[in-house]
Structure 1
Amino acid sequence: MIVNLITFASFLHKQASIRVSHEVVLSELEKHFTVNLVDYQDAEQLGPDDFKLVFIATGGVEQLVVQYFETLSHPVVMLADGIQNSLAAALELSSWLRNRGLRNEILHGEVSVIVQRIRTHYQNFQAKRSLFGLRIGVIGSPSPWLIASGVDYLLTKRRWGVEYTDIPLERIYELYDKITDNEVGASCAAFASQALACREATPEDLLKAMRLYRAIRRVCEEEKLSAVTLNCFKLIEQIGTTGCLALSLLNNEGILAGCEGDLQTIFTLLASRVLTGKVGFMANPSMVNIHNHEIIFAHCTIPTKLTEQYIIRNHFETNSSIGIQGVMPTGEVTIIRCGCECLDEYYLSTGTLMENTNYLKLCRTQIRVKMDSPVDYFLKNPIGNHHIVLPGNHEEALNEFLQANTCKRVE
């Protein structure tokens, strides 16, 4: 791991004396990282993939930092060990940045703490760089009921480096019609053989759903998509099959896939996976118990890799085609959703998955989660419908990342 320290020192100090003066902190950091001291005048030579911190080596550099502000990474993270009035200068700069609404942090004090914070900032940097250039396919327009889940494509690309691309449903229909039952028969048999049971769905339903999966998978390959969101209900009207199976299998394979053309939630899935390595369960909060801090999350599809076992069902709303009832393991979970048109708000909480429920009038996969925070948010201040359930506790990592990217936490 290479840490480039963009070094600011007053004209009274030469580069050689900087290393001598700060030998204690630099030698300790070099036990953990490869440390490069980069003079601020050479900072432009570093590329976008180079991890950079600001090293305040002396006092009196405030104007220099302001002058070269555009060459710095954001948020601005400043290392200041206190030698040569460096902490005093960092404090002044921190106030200047904060007054302009710019997130910043001063690394100072115990080296072990500084090392841990550098690792965290590096993780955030890597996650943000990993998002850059990823493509999200929007197959069909978002469902008309998702009136608060839109995204400004241009602002999102500028902010996160992620590109949304619209793909007409007709392209899926054309590919779907070319795929025969014989081509997907073995895949259907394998999927069915691993299921705990098959209830309402027929073999014909499974064949049609698998053909749809193959069609969407081909488009993802042709368009080099990292994620896709699908207007499922228009598909049901046109070709008589749901996207539940397709989305489950795509998620299993690492192509993140979401329902109903929800633009905000598919980004949430993508950002969460980049940071935590985990795929999530996209679900509706379907019942809220304020007294017990509990929520029932439900949807008709789930990545089967998240389940201990699954049952092949039909789709709840239409009583047709394929739905998946997954049984998730109990234990810690993280609930997250990114919102707003430029994706600069988020909800985040942890909880415990207590049980898998089986209510008759809810979507097929259902889980009861006891939240670690009050559930009033869902009734008083929600930023949308769909939320992502991630196995495990990832609150600290996700919060650090979103805060580092100047997102507002909604509670």
Structure 2
Amino acid sequence: MYEDVRRRISGVGDFFEFPPLITSADHAEYYASRYRDWVDGGIVIVWSGGTDRMIYRIGRELRKPILVYAHPAHNSLASVREAIAALRNDGIEISVSYGELGQVSDFVSPFLGALRASVLLTRSRFAQVGEQEPWILISRGPEMLRRRLGLEMIKIRWEEMFELGLRADGRAVMEKVVELKSLFGKVDRRDDDLEKAVRIYFGLKDIVRKYSISSAAVEARDMLDPSLRDWGPYLGVSLLSDDGIPSDYEGEHDAIITKLIVYYMTGRASFMANMTRIDSPRNAVVFSHCTVPISMIDPKASVLLSYYETDRTVAIRGRLKEGEKVTFVRIGGRDLDKILFGTGTIVNGDLGRKDLCRTQIEVRVDGRARDLIEKALGNHIVIVYGDLREHFRYFSKIKSLEAIEIV
């Protein structure tokens, strides 16, 4: 059994250290204290009953996020229930999962994704490039992000990014323009519009390299300065998100950091959107924005066109995959102490309305759609393919967030 479980968990892809099979409480305490200072967390696979005190000692000594996994034989579940109750009585929160031993890799994977995100945030740098837009009312400072998430925050002048973009190699810029024109099914912008949008992207890439940035909130200065109308960041942040640097515009903090969390959990790009319409009888919601990552859309069925608010510069009208399950999520709260999440299915991947931001999807929510208004943590919310509810349940425990699940 031990070797089989070890083989299955090793296949998940993270780095593991496996102690010998633990057979006594003293043994459990010894290995928990031995590993405590250099592991990020623990997974305890409980083979049988009579292991209550072993589980308890590991929880007390390791002092790191732990997932305890029970299976439906040999009184495994009985020992787990006793141990986690005792640990919670001591103020120690433990995550629990349950399934057949043959399913262990599937069931522990969400915990590992949540743990990975929690750890990588502490090794990351979030940048605000320019200023927040005046209509964004929720702002986070470096001290809060460091205290709540372990995330470093820096501020970079918009002008520095812009100057780097203007100095970008002309040949490389035009090669990117040609690539984009061949990628999309329709292009509704002139080459000079595309060139300027790509220069913003190149400026952002240079900023990322110069400052070792993991994620960026970028000011859309073109919205407020008529002289910069053709220099929007919308295409640039879409491309940056596909490069593994989750980013977006308006200087938004909480939702863009949520994009970073999603990326660390899954390796997937995500779509930051406004919630723009609701159909309560159908439990359907429309999400829209102008910065969808290309990896989330069918580019041959999508369009490069102008940005909705100004009818200038370049944005994406993307077609997402109809019938796909998605998770919507956002961190927030007064002390960055909450996370809202739920799931739904895309029923329309491209509405094509002229009165909304360019990329528009309709999602049938698995739960009460109006709760997305009544329990909102802010306007923007993040959409990602797949059902990640278990990931965010674990993440909320690891980071001590109040979980607000739409059901």
The TM-score, its normalising length taken from structure 1, stands at: 0.80
CA distance in 2, matches of 1:85, 1:369: 40
Structure with a larger share of its residues in strand: 1
CA distance in 1, matches of 2:3, 2:179: 57
- Counterpart among 60, 64, 81 of residue 73 in structure 1: 64
CA distance in 2, matches of 1:30, 1:181: 53
Q: CA deviation at 1:316?
A: 1.0
Q: CA deviation at 1:301?
A: 1.8
1:49 and 1:129 in contact (8 A); partners too: no
> What is the aligned residue count?
383
| Percent sequence identity over aligned pairs | 23
1:138 and 1:165 in contact (8 A); partners too: yes
Aligned counterpart, 1:339: 332
Aligned counterpart, 2:293: 303
Aligned counterpart, 1:3: none
Moved more, 366-375 or 168-177: 168-177
Structure 2 matches for 1:217-296, cutoff 5 A?
A: 217-233=205-221, 237=225, 239-240=228-229, 241-296=231-286
Structure 2 matches for 1:12-411, cutoff 5 A?
A: 29=5, 32=8, 35-37=18-20, 40-41=29-30, 43-46=32-35, 47-49=37-39, 51-53=41-43, 65=57, 69=60, 71-75=62-66, 77=68, 94-99=84-89, 102-105=92-95, 111=101, 117-118=107-108, 120-148=110-138, 150-179=139-168, 181-199=170-188, 201-233=189-221, 237=225, 239-240=228-229, 241-309=231-299, 310-332=302-324, 333-355=326-348, 356-410=350-404, 411=406
- 3-state SS of paired residue (1:222): helix
1:298 and 1:362 in contact (8 A); partners too: yes
CA distance in 1, matches of 2:356, 2:336: 29
Amino acid at match of 1:385: N
Amino acid at match of 2:186: A
Structure of higher CA gyration radius: 1
- 3-state SS of paired residue (1:393): coil
1:308-339 residue CA offsets vs partner (Å, 9 max, x unmatched):
12212111111211121111121222211122
Give ranges in structure 1 of 5+ residues lacking alignment: 1-24
2:99 and 2:107 in contact (8 A); partners too: no
Q: CA deviation at 1:86?
A: 12
2:41 and 2:66 in contact (8 A); partners too: no
1:290 and 1:376 in contact (8 A); partners too: yes
Amino acid at match of 1:233: R
Give ranges in structure 2 of 5+ residues lacking alignment: 10-16, 21-26
CA RMSD of aligned residues (A): 3.5
1:233 and 1:242 in contact (8 A); partners too: yes
2:115 and 2:398 in contact (8 A); partners too: no
CA distance in 2, matches of 1:384, 1:141: 18
